[in-house]
Structure formats: structure tokens, C-alpha cells
């Protein structure tokens, strides 16, 4: 498409890299917000751990040591292994499961959040810009989906689709959160669709698709980025929660929710194995919430 090529050239006089740089500078403004920095630190902690975990000298998270069941913090196993956070009811190293579990949860949470965003965002863009029957139909669909309590939706979608699996989790998250994203995007678009620069694009005969993607979408990115951070937090909770309820990512892969559910069956013997994943998810979600707060605070200053 040479057509598009020229368009692109006409649109951006700055090279692509410098635009990324501008975005980075904006995000870097978060230094000025104290809560934002704390959030950044927490998120970065889990992000970095998740990325480098294969290179860390940890136990195999799936390996069971029948000799070392439900050990407390900082225990030595019989064969000389050292379990920093102890072991769970099957003698698996909690630290290894925690870090690998974080990687798993973060990966699936990000993926499902993005899928839900693409679906909900596209719906919201179309309904908000085109209005008319598109809006009526899509809004009705969103209202129908929003009428399901989220948990009921998860239960229905996952049992209907045939049980726990990563793909089904993505479906469930999309069904449950895309309508909410739809509402946000639609509202933002409705707010700016009557701006003069949109009229200007219309009166020079731009295609509606181009108006939606090029003229409108970039102007709502600020609130959407903030919402994405918050929503990544909710989605993380969801992924862990589904694991806890036994309808999420299938075991034995380590997953914070499954870890809690497994340990819970053993009463006070499982308290140690239960606390760590609970703390882990809380710190990650807190980090995302604070990061989003910081971003909002910084962006409001402009």
C-alpha cells in the first residue's frame, strides 16, 4: 500500500524513535509522584522477577520432596536443600512456586487484558463515533453482558467451554471486562467526537476508519493507559481467583490462586504456604494501583 506509506510520511515528520522517546519522557514524569514511584518499584520488582526467573538458582517448582512436607520458613531439607520460604503440602519449594507463579499470572493477565481491550475498545470506538444503530446495538449487548455478575459469567463461560484452560480464561475475561472497557472508550469518544478537528477531518473527506484510529484514538490514550494499569490489576486478581476456584489455569502449573486453595485444605499446617501468595498478589496489585494513581496525578498536572 504505497498510499498508506505516503500517509504515514505526511503525518509524522518526526521519526518513530523520537516519538517513543516522547512517550517515555511522559511516563518518566512519574518520578514526581511519590506514590507513583512506590508503585513503579513494586511493579518493576515482579516484572523483573518474572522475566529472569528461568535464570535464577531456584528449585523446580513442580518437584515434590516427600521428605520435606509443609516446612516453615528458612528450613533445611534432609538432602541439604535450603527452602527459603519453606515448602507446601506436597513438599514443593514455596519460593520457586511463588516466582514462577507470578510469571504465569502476569503473562496470562496481560494477554487477556489486551484481548479484552482490543474487543471492548473496538466496540466502544465504533459505537461512540458512528452512533445510531451501531451504538444502540452494541450498548444493548454490553448491557446484557454487564447484567451477569462477573463470577457467574466466569463460571458459565468456563464450564460451558469445557473447563479450565488458558484460552478459556481469556474468553472469560474478555466476556466479563470488554463491556466495561466498551463503556469507558465509548464515553471518552463521545466526549471528543464533536470537536472541531474531527469535523475538519470529516470535511476533508477522511474515511471513518481513519478518523476513528488516527484522529480519535490517540487523543484518549491518556485515560486509557491509566485504566489499563488498573485493569491489569483486576485481571491479575481474576486469573489468581479463577485458579483458586479451580476453574482457571490448570494445575500443576504454579499459580498464586491454586497455591492458596491447595494450602487452605490443611488448616494451620497450610498457613505459611497460604500467606506468601496472598502477599504476592496484594503487592503486585497495589503496585499497579499506585502506578496508575501516579500516572493520573502526573497527567493532570499538564
What is the Cα 245 distance to its own chain's centre? 19
Pick from 39, 36, 44: nearest CA to 297:
36
Work out how close the CB of 57 gets to other proteins at its nearest, in angstroms, rounded to a whole number: 28
Instruction: Compare residues 82 and 199 and give the one whose CB is closer to other proteins.
Output: 199
Provide the minimum distance between the beta carbon of 45 and other proteins in the complex, in angstroms, as a whole number: 14
| The three cell numbers locating residue 47 | 516484572
Q: What whole-number distance in Å separates Cα of residue 127 and Cα of residue 136?
A: 8
Quote the CA–CA distance of 231 and 236 in Å, as a whole number.
Answer: 8
Q: Name the residue with cell 500516572.
A: 295
> Positive or negative, the Cα torsion across 42, 47, 48, 52?
positive
Which helix (H) or strand (E) is 272 found in, with range? helix 271-301
Cβ-based nearer residue to other proteins, 44 or 151: 151
Report the residue number, 49 or 146, with the smaller CB distance to other proteins.
Answer: 146
* Interacting residue ranges for other proteins, rule: CB under 8 A: 6-7, 9-14, 32, 35, 140, 143-144, 146-152, 155-156, 159-160, 195-197, 199-206, 215, 218-219, 233, 237, 240-241, 244-247, 257, 260, 264, 267-268, 271, 274-275, 277-279, 281-282, 285-286, 289-290, 293, 301
Min separation Cβ 270 and other proteins, Å: 9
Q: Which is nearer to other proteins, 63 or 202 (CB)?
A: 202
Compare residues 76 and 195 and give the one whose CB is closer to other proteins.
Answer: 195
Helix (H) or strand (E) holding 116: helix 94-130
- Supply the minimum distance, in Å, between the C-beta of residue 55 and other proteins: 28
Amino acid at each position: 500500500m504505497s498510499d498508506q506509506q505516503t500517509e504515514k510520511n505526511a503525518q509524522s515528520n518526526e521519526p518513530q524513535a523520537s516519538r517513543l522517546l516522547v512517550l517515555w519522557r511522559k511516563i518518566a514524569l512519574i518520578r514526581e509522584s511519590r506514590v507513583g514511584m512506590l508503585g513503579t518499584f513494586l511493579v518493576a520488582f515482579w516484572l523483573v522477577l518474572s522475566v529472569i526467573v528461568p535464570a535464577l538458582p531456584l528449585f523446580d517448582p513442580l518437584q515434590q520432596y516427600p521428605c520435606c512436607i509443609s516446612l516453615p520458613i528458612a528450613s533445611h531439607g534432609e538432602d541439604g536443600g535450603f527452602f527459603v520460604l519453606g515448602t507446601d503440602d506436597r513438599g514443593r519449594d514455596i519460593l520457586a512456586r511463588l516466582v514462577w507463579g507470578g510469571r504465569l499470572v502476569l503473562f496470562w493477565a496481560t494477554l487477556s487484558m489486551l484481548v479484552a481491550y482490543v474487543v471492548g475498545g473496538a466496540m466502544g470506538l465504533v459505537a461512540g463515533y458512528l452512533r445510531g444503530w451501531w451504538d444502540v446495538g452494541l450498548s444493548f449487548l454490553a448491557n446484557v453482558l454487564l447484567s451477569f455478575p462477573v463470577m457467574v459469567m466466569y463460571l458459565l463461560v468456563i464450564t460451558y467451554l469445557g473447563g479450565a484452560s488458558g484460552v478459556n480464561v481469556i474468553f472469560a475475561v474478555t466476556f466479563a471486562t470488554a463491556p466495561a472497557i466498551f463503556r469507558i472508550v465509548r464515553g471518552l469518544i463521545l466526549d471528543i467526537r464533536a470537536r472541531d478537528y474531527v469535523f475538519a477531518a470529516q470535511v476533508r473527506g477522511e474515511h471513518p476508519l481513519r478518523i476513528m484510529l488516527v484522529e480519535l484514538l490517540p487523543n484518549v490514550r491518556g485515560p486509557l493507559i491509566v485504566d489499563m494499569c488498573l485493569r491489569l490489576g483486576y485481571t491479575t486478581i481474576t486469573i489468581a481467583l479463577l485458579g483458586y476456584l479451580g476453574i482457571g489455569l490448570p494445575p500443576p502449573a504454579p499459580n498464586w490462586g491454586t497455591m492458596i486453595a491447595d494450602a487452605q485444605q490443611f488448616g494451620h499446617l497450610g498457613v505459611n504456604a497460604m500467606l506468601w501468595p496472598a502477599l504476592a498478589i496484594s503487592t503486585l496489585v497495589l503496585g499497579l494501583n499506585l502506578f496508575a494513581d501516579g500516572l493520573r496525578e502526573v497527567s493532570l498536572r499538564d
